[in-house]
Copies of this chain bind each other. A is one copy, B any other.
Amino acid sequence: MKISSAEDRFTVHYRLFGVASLREARDKSRLIALEQTVELPDDLVAPGPIRQHIVGQQISLKKLKDGSFESVLSYPVGTTGSEIPQFLNVMFGNTSIKPKIRVERFDLPKSLLKTFQGPRFGVKGLRALLKEPKRPLLCTALKPMGLPSRELAKLAYQFALGGIDLIKDDHGLADQPYARFEDRVPRCAEAVEKANRETGRRCLYLPNVSVSIPTLWKRLLFAKKEGAGGFLVSPGLVGFDVMHQMAVDKRLGLPILFHPAFLGSFVVDPHHGMSHYALFGQLARLAGADGSIFPSFGGRFSFSWDDCRQIAQGCHDKMGDLKPIFPVPGGGMSLERVREMLDVYGQDVIFLVGGGLFRQGPDLVENGRYFRRLVETSSN
């Protein structure tokens, strides 16, 4: 293909910290534009189409109130090779190694959004599956690691009976000898199905599939056959492309929850990495998640109220025809916080309660019912 100015371009909004002047910001931006594409010093890039079109183009550059700079660069969609790993590479590959640069957001043209497709279900699709058109949804996790499969299945049954909508494996359940994947998944799926027959509801069981590549698709298809209602995956552990492929694979066709394990370093430093909006909102959604799990403000992690609000925005904001997805705040939240969280996240939210659900009382079914009533009452 000939390099052409007619090619669609996508933009990345970088935030530059510790920069003294507009001129320095311009120089730093130029280094990003080169680093992310040709990886050559400016004077070694010959005049011509590569210099004109492949090297990132400065779309805008402005100083923000806090003294940092916002630099918007554009790249041709061809640089991504239509693949998620290479999209990540152009967006932030080598530049991730430089301090004081943060990806705030990205904007993809319709052509590239269509290539990547995004979530299969999104908010509406998942609601349709569950036949719950309006209220916030409820999610919990099977834990702890170390329990045998039959005990995990017993928990799943109780939670499903109590009215939880989505029951996922704890993100630490993989294929350990204590509860093998092939033993655990059928038992838990069956337990949830049994509860569904009794309640008439449609609780889904989502096994964790953040596992090794050679067995991954075998396990995915096995889990589906055995009655899994969706999947939990940690792109930090297995790569964003795995989640993307799970979303587009028609043989699977089940909703996906994104887990943030091993991705914390991208957001812990507010002057580096990626914004909460871009990582847990935009990227999770672009790569096919139907719900994005993250540690909510007020829990045992350090995300602020504003970080969380931004994630919710990244889940909902217009991204071409990509479906909006659910923010899934969790991480040590307690039942008492439900009302406050509804104010931030709105109705299109999945509340993830793990430990808090055990703490309410000795009867797990009752704890689930309490949780569900609380959400139903608060959201009316």
Contacts and interface: CB of A to CB of B under 8 A. Distances in A.
Interface of A: 1, 3, 31, 36-41, 44-45, 49-50, 53-54, 78-86, 88-90, 92-99, 141, 143-147, 170-172, 174-178, 210-214, 234, 236-239, 241-242, 244-245, 260-269, 272-274, 295, 300-302, 331-332, 354-355, 358-359
Contacts of A37: 144-146, 172
Contact of A40 (B38, B143, B214): B143
Given A143-B40, A269-B268, A85 B171 contact: no
B174 A83 contact: yes
Given A97-B295, A172-B79, A54 B146 contact: yes
Nearest to A179: B1
Given A146-B54, A261-B96, A264-B97, A212 B85 contact: yes
A273 B265 contact: yes
Contacts of A170: 39
A368 to B, nearest CB: 16
Question: Closest 4 CB pairs between A and B?
Answer: A97-B264, A96-B264, A38-B144, A239-B239
A37 B145 CA distance: 6
A326 to B, nearest CB: 19
Nearest to A261: B93
Nearest to A95: B264
A237 B93 contact: yes
B3 A354 contact: no
A245 B213 contact: yes
Contact of A237 (B1, B239, B358): B239
